[in-house]
Amino acid sequence: MNDFVPPPLLGVGINYLPSAPEIMRAGEGLLDFFELSPDILCIEEGQGPARRLTPQPRLLDRTLRDTDGRPLVVHGLGLSMGSAHGWNEGYLKLLDMVHELRPFLWHSEHLGFLSVETPAGGEIVTGIPLPMPYTEESLNLLVPRGAAMAQRYGVPFLLENLTHYLPGLPTDGGRDEVAFLNDFVERSGCGLLLDLYNLHCNATNQGFDAREALPRLRLDRVVQIHVAGGGSHDGFQMDVHDTVAPEPVWELLEWVVPRLPHLAGISFEMLEEARLTPQAVRQQLERARTVWDRYHPRHGKNLRHGTA
C-alpha cells in the first residue's frame, strides 16, 4: 500500500497542558498549532476489556476554548497499538468524541504497547509504552491497525519512534527500529512522527550514532517532529520530557529539517510535571521557529499574521 497523502503545512506547535496556562501563554505569537493528548482530559475507570476513559466535562470544555482558533493535531497515549489481544477500544471511543467536537489534521501514537492479557483473561496495564520486537509478526499486527486508523478519521496516521531500555529485542532479518518503521509506512500508507529526543536517548543508551540512523529512515514520510529534553539516571538518558532540549537534539533538527519534503510541523513536548519557566519554553519555541522559518519563510510569516 502506498497511498500516503501529506497534510498541509502548519509550523510550530506545543503539546497542550491544561494545568499550565502560563506555559501555554508563553507561546503567544509563536504558535501555529496545538498538539492534544485526549487521555489527559479523562479519568480512567474499570479494568480489562471494560476499561474506559471518562472525559471531565469542565476540563474538556476549557481545552476546546483554549485551543480554539488554531489547528489541532492529536498525539495519543493510550491506544496501545501493539497489544496482541487488541488495542484500547475505550481510547477509540474517546477519540471519536474529540473528532466530532474538533476535527484534527492528523493523529499519532507510539510504536509500542501498554497492556497485556493475562492467562486468566484479565489485563495488565504497564503505565508506559513497551517496545515491540522488530519482526514480521509485529508488522502483521501493526500495519492493518495503522491503515484502519487513517481510514477511520480520513487524516494521516503517524507512528512515533519509542525510547526503550531493552537491548537485543527479537528481530527478523537484522531489522532495527529504523528498518521496522520503514517497512511499516511502506505497507500501511501511514506517516511518521519523528521524536528527535527519543532517538537521542536510544542512541546514547544503546551506543549507536543517531546521525547514521537518520539518513536510513523514510524521511519522505515524516510529518511531525518532536523536540524535548530530559535528565539522566544511573547512566541512562531518560524519556521524561521535563527539561529544555539538549544541543544534540537541536543539531539533529538542523540536519534533518531540510531533508523532509512533507514536514508539516515541529512541536516542543513536555510533561505536566516539567519545571520549566514560561521564559524557557518561549526560548525553545523561538529556536524551533527559527529553524522552521529558514525553510518555510513565507508560510511561517503568513501563519503568524493570520493570512495563510
Closest to 162 (Cα-Cα) out of 239, 233, 218, 223: 239
Residue 168 has a pLDDT of 82
SS3 15: strand
Classify residue 63 by burial, with Cβ atoms within 10 Å: 0-12, 13-18, 19+: buried
Q: 39 is written with which cell numbers?
A: 487521555
45 vs 119, more confident = 119
Q: pLDDT-derived band of residue 306, with 50, 70 and 90 as boundaries? A: very low
**172-179 long-range Cβ contacts below 8 angstroms, 24+ apart:** 172/134, 172/135, 172/136, 175/134, 175/135, 176/134, 176/213, 177/111, 177/134, 177/202, 178/213, 178/216, 178/217, 179/134, 179/216
CB-CB contact of 208 with 237 (8 Å): no
With a cut of 70, say whether residue 48 has pLDDT above it: no
Distance CA 190, CA 289 (A): 26
Helix (H, G, I), strand (E, B) or coil at 194: strand
Q: Are 79 and 107 in contact (CB under 8 A)?
A: no
Residue identified by cell 495519543 is 76
Alpha helices in the chain (DSSP H): 21-25, 57-66, 89-101, 136-153, 177-188, 196-206, 210-213, 247-256, 278-295, 297-304
Task: List the Cα angle 58/59/64 in 5-degree steps.
Answer: 100
224 and 158 Cβ atoms separated by less than 8 Å: yes
Number of helical H runs and strand E runs in the chain: 10, 14
pLDDT of residue 212: 96
Count of other CB atoms within 10 angstroms of residue 260:
20
At 268-286, the pLDDT tens digits run 999 887 889 999 999 999 9
pLDDT at 233 over 80: no
pLDDT at 53: 78
Q: What is the pTM of this model?
A: 0.92
pLDDT at 71 over 70: yes
- Alpha-carbon distance 31 to 14, whole Å? 7
**Is pLDDT at 303 greater than 70 in this prediction?**
no
pLDDT tens by residue, 121-163: 788 887 788 899 999 999 999 999 999 999 999 999 999 999 9
10 Å CB burial of residue 187 (0-12, 13-18, 19+) is middle
Residue 222 clears pLDDT 60, i.e. is over it: yes
240, amino acid identity: V
Q: In the prediction, which pLDDT does 55 show?
A: 87
For the segment 83-96, the average pLDDT, to the nearest whole number, is: 90
HSE-CB of 119 using CA atoms within 13 angstroms: 0
Domains delineated in the chain: 11-303 (3.20.20.150)
Average pLDDT of the residues of the chain? 90
